[in-house]
Structure 1
Amino acid sequence: MRYFTKQQGQKEAVPVDLEALGGDRYKLTVNGVTYQVDALALEHGTMSMLVDGQSYSAEFEESGDEVGVLLRGQVSRFDVADERRLRLRAGTAAFSVEGKQLVTAPMPGKVVKVLVKVGDEVKEGQGLVVVEAMKMENELKSPKAGKVTELFAKEGTTVENNAKLVIVE
């Protein structure tokens, strides 16, 4: 099956083809490069994978068309759409972030630094808040250029998964 993924801050979607080979084996082609993947789903959205002989442990969290991935201590967010969904979007809207955007905590953790204040103008990809989770600091970035209209994050506080942190309009 073909998907199109766009990492937060990227301009264009990347084609991803996923083919089940039987059992826990897959052929994954990302932007024309093919990988052999053995994947074993563990509990709580964690997956143990062998990708071309390299071992990885990744945590996945889905929220609509968005998938959060924790890999090697770094959280990345991806917008994922299959070909049908992409065609539907093209008929109704651009493949970009528009309107009021809520930035949430990707997992439970502690707010260690707030990099903006209400009224600040921010660029797409600019850091907004740093959250420490699983002993790693993750800088959460603005999904669009705009203005910080609400700020829920406070340094030193703990946050739950999907807790509201910042709104950018």
Structure 2
Amino acid sequence: MIIETTINKQSRTVEILDSGDKAIIDGKTHPFSFERLDATRYILRLGYQTHIISNITKNDNQLEYTVDGNWHTAAVKDEQMMLLDRMGFKVGGSASEGILKAPMPGKIVDILVKEGETVSEGQPVVILEAMKMENELKSPSEGRVKSISAAPGQSVEKNGVLLEIEPLG
């Protein structure tokens, strides 16, 4: 597993080897383990250092947590998100005034909402297959689905409008 994390404006590439006992961070190999201590705490061993991780909350690709009692925030990207970034695509679609656009060419697998349905910001609304991967596209804003411009099985181009969300009220 490879992830890219940004902590305190410093980006690092981290690969956890399949064996699970080593991590490669920015090209350097370190002994590694991550184990649950109890319902809310974990122990991280990296190199010859041991840390207690707790208070973990996740929101999309943002993690908030404490390390040895000190609060940290990290942006985390998996391999799929890193590939899309390198190709210039934004994961989750492009939002402009409640319009969800295809972030890349692909095929619509499923539309998860119906016209008139109320959605919250970040709610999954469309499944798009691109580059042999299924991508979950999320609502750009809270509101009501005003119109759906795509259908399952349809091919779409980059920036093609998929659906429009109108504000509530």
Q: TM-score, normalised by structure 2?
A: 0.49
Report which structure shows greater RCO (CA 8 Å, sep ≥6). Answer: 1
